[in-house]
Amino acid sequence: MNVSVSSRGGLDLRQLVGAGAAACLQGAGYPIPEVVLSAVPCSGGFVARTGHDEFLVAADEAPQLSAASPPWCFQRSDHLIELTGPDWAQALTAVCPHDLRALGGDAWLMATVAGVDVWLRTGPDSSGGLLIGCDPSYGHYLETTLREVVSETESLKQ
């Protein structure tokens, strides 16, 4: 199996919640996903619409927002895990109830992986890999579990 699992850093995560969140992001030059639970690429990361007036911004640096910010804008500390390689969807079949092989490019999904609630994000070319974000208290467990699944799957093929 051609998959590698690694921690991912370098993205600043911000959650914007409340009336005016979309206008605030647009004013800062960020694209706005039209559909709830979808994402669009931006500045080395993405903007995901996690609810009607809720957005998750993952970017190379913190967004510069105007004084007319929504009621809540806070930094998130999600543990980020990157699965790279063409077989990442197959590796997740052992720990995720969803068939992710059909997940296209620039896709966003909230799911459960190995019993942990996560968000999943593919880039423009979904065959290249997957970014997984989860609560930091589950980060070590999830990353270790994914490494074990990949390792066991590779040893079964030999």
Q: Is the pTM of this model over 0.75?
A: yes
Q: Which two tokens stand for residue 34?
A: 């039209």
Task: Report the distance separating Cα 148 and Cα 144, nearest Å.
Answer: 6
Contacts of 29 (CB under 8 A, 6+ apart): none
**φ and ψ at 57, to 5 degrees?**
-110, 125
**Residue 131: how many CA atoms within 13 Å on its side-chain side?**
23
* Confidence (pLDDT) at 104: 82
For residues 131 and 8, the answer to whether their CB atoms sit within 8 Å is: yes
Write out pLDDT tens, residues 97-149. Answer: 988 888 888 889 999 999 999 999 998 777 778 999 999 999 999 999 999 99
Q: Which two tokens stand for residue 46?
A: 């993405």
- On the question of pLDDT at 44 being above 90, the answer is no
Enumerate the domain spans of the chain: 4-9+78-157, 12-76
Per CATH, the number for 4-9+78-157 is: 3.30.1360.120
Give the Cα-Cα-Cα angle 100, 37, 78 (nearest 5 degrees). Answer: 80
Higher pLDDT, 97 or 68: 97
